[in-house]
Amino acid sequence: MKQCLYLIITLLLFTLSHTTVQAQIQDDNSSLVQFSGITITADSLNPVSYTKILDICSHRGTSSDINGYFSFVAHRKDTVVFTAVGYKPASFIIPDTITKQKYSLIQLMTADTLTLAAAFIFPWPTLEDFKRAFVELKIPDDDLEIARKNLLAADIRMMAENYPMDASMNYRNYIDNQTSKLYYFGQVQPYNIFNPFAWAKFIKAWKDGKFKSQKERLK
């Protein structure tokens, strides 16, 4: 009699526990949701590729593809966190009021601007190299210095016109003439009679009296 009673109690406990487990499983399965969606930028609505998506309740998740699409199984009331490089983290709580076994979301990702500290890059490895480069720095000529050099070059040309040509100048003139002939080889070489610069030089020399005879110059 006692054994029959023991078997009946054991059977009842097993039936109750099995029913409870099945109820828990059914309740857990009923809370499952196929959570899908896309991640896009908040300003231009472009897809945010390879966004990390984590369900912090179940510690499961996935990543969005190149088009920003994602899909995984979650539970109602789970908190899902979205993270991507260059964007602020975002979170979303799956509502528990949905009646279907799937839920879709368009998650907007806001760009995160990082302000980095200023970096100064110098071409000198040490302070001593900088000081030496600063002392030896060649400052470009200002307008006054450029004008002075131009006037100096003009004075040198005028002085050269008043002095006879030496051997080196004759050699340079000969080489220039030969170079000019080679440059115009097989072509009609231009005549200076049609050169306005040559005419200007001739008129200037005539006004300066360079074509006067030596007797006229002595008068």
> What does the pLDDT look like over 67-94, one tens digit per residue?
999 999 999 989 999 999 889 999 999 9
Backbone φ and ψ of 41, nearest 5°: -75, 150
Domain's final residue, options 60, 83, 109: 109
Does 4 fall in a domain?
no
Percent of the chain with pLDDT over 90: 26
Pairing of strands 32-41, 102-109: parallel
User: Quick one: 135 and 73 in the same domain?
Assistant: no
Instruction: Give the three-state DSSP class for 28.
Output: helix
**Strands of 69-75's sheet in order across:** 69-75, 32-41, 102-109
The model's pLDDT over 3-37, given as tens digits with 9 standing for 90+, comes to: 555 555 565 554 545 444 343 444 455 678 999 99
Structural domain contains residue 22: no
- Angstrom distance (rounded) from CA 88 to CA 111: 6
Residues 103 and 126 placed together within one structural domain of the fold: no
Note the pLDDT of residue 161.
59
Q: How confident is the model at residue 99 (pLDDT cuts 50, 70, 90)?
A: confident
Domain extent at residue 59: 31-109
Residues 91 and 40 in one domain: yes
Asked if residue 190 and residue 131 are part of one domain, the reply reads yes
Where do we find the tokens 């100064």? 120
Residue 76 lies in a domain: yes
pLDDT at 193: 65
Of 91, 92, 85, 82, the residue nearest 113 (C-alpha): 85
Q: Where is the domain boundary, 86, 109, 132?
A: 109
Highest mean pLDDT pick, 5-19, 36-50, 128-142, 199-213? 36-50
| Same domain membership, residue 92 and residue 120 | no
Domain count, the chain: 2
Within 84-215, strands assigned E span 90-93, 102-109
10 Å Cβ neighbour count for 79? 13
| 159 pLDDT above the threshold of 70 | no
Name the 3-class secondary structure at 75.
strand
What CA–CA distance (Å, rounded) separates 170 from 177? 11
Q: Answer yes or no: pTM beyond 0.85.
A: no
Task: State the Cα angle at 56 between 90 and 69, rounded to 5°.
Answer: 55
pLDDT digits (tens, 9 = 90+) for 47-69: 999 999 999 988 888 999 999 99
Domain end, chosen from 109, 137, 155, is at 109
> What is the rounded distance in angstroms from the CA atom of residue 108 to the CA atom of residue 42?
5
Spatial contact of 173 and 165, defined as CB atoms under 8 Å apart: yes
Site of tokens 């006037």: 151
Q: Which residues contact 127 (CB under 8 A, 6 or more apart)?
A: none
